[in-house]
Amino acid sequence: MKPASWSRLSWVGGLLLGAVALNHGQQAQPTPARPLTWEFLISKNYLPYHQLKPEDFPIDDHTHPKFGFFVKCFVQPSFHFVTGQSPGGYFYIHITDWTIFSGLNKNESFRRSNLPDVKAALPAAQAILDLNEIYARQLAAMLPGDLPVGDGPTYEKAYAQLVGRVTGLVQATLANAEKEEEAFSDATSGGRDQRKARALGAAIKKRLTAISAATPTPAVPAIPPVPSVSATASPSPTTSPR
């Protein structure tokens, strides 16, 4: 079953007798000016990756009424960077380390009150969350030398370029997750084939288990030998239609 609609940051597909929708996203809101923490995100109902439970999905009979189940994932980078300025006044920004926060956006995940069997929907929903986590961990494992840099004639332009490139990196990586989610939907008839959903979900879980969740110790890249300042940022990737 083809997804009902697509956009750069969301994925929706009918599942389980037409009663379930899965939504894939990559943007956590709001993002504070201070370094991002799980404590802050959890307080805003952005939950770390985990095995899904029925209570993760508040009852909502009004949003997307044609679906009985809706799952939204997120991936949010937060990074520390150093800023240098060349003798000619050109600015350079390098990421020295970063953290990827990922999991379930409970604000936009829900179930209908008349969904007959919530637990039956969980294997397909978990497979989507697991795919999101696979690609989130791939991002988390990237070393500073592999991450985007920003440069420009002013600090503002250099920083804007860095944020744009980080956003592009996250979007490009999660585009692969979206392709896998579409393939999962097709292979399981939109999740209706529960046995196939469980089998494919188990294979996805095996892939996830094989990926280390730990981010490697960052190495500081070379920067121009000029005075520099350091800071932390948690930019939110912008939403743009596919």
Task: Name the residue range of residue 176's domain.
Answer: 5-213+221-233
Residue 29 lies in a domain: yes
Residue 240 lies in a domain: no
76-85, pLDDT tens digit by residue? 888 888 888 8
Residue 241 lies in a domain: no
Q: Is the dihedral of CA 230, 142, 234, 237 positive or negative?
A: positive
Q: Which residues contact 218 (CB under 8 A, 6 or more apart)?
A: 96, 97, 98, 143, 144
Q: With contact defined as beta carbons under 8 Å apart, do 197 and 121 qualify? A: no
Strands 69-85 and 228-233: antiparallel
Stated as kind and residue range, the H or E segment containing 183 is helix 155-187
192 band by pLDDT with thresholds 50, 70 and 90? confident
61-105, pLDDT tens digit by residue? 787 766 777 788 999 888 888 888 888 889 999 998 888 999 999
Residue 236, phi then psi, degrees to nearest 5: -100, 120
40-51, pLDDT tens digit by residue? 899 999 999 999
pLDDT of residue 229: 46
pLDDT of residue 63: 76
pTM (global) more than 0.95: no
CA angle 10, 132, 194 (to 5 degrees): 90
207 band by pLDDT with thresholds 50, 70 and 90? very high
Residue 242 lies in a domain: no
Q: What is the mean pLDDT of the chain?
A: 75
Strands 69-85 and 149-152: unpaired
Distance CA 67, CA 208 (A): 28
Distance CA 90, CA 1 (A): 52
Total domains present in the chain: 1
Report whether pLDDT(213) > 70.
Answer: no
Residue 239 lies in a domain: no
127-143, pLDDT tens digit by residue? 999 999 999 999 999 99
Report whether pLDDT(166) > 60.
Answer: yes
Residue 42 lies in a domain: yes
Distance CA 100, CA 59 (A): 29
Distance CA 124, CA 131 (A): 11
Residue 238 lies in a domain: no
Residue 72 lies in a domain: yes
Q: With contact defined as beta carbons under 8 Å apart, do 69 and 118 qualify? A: yes
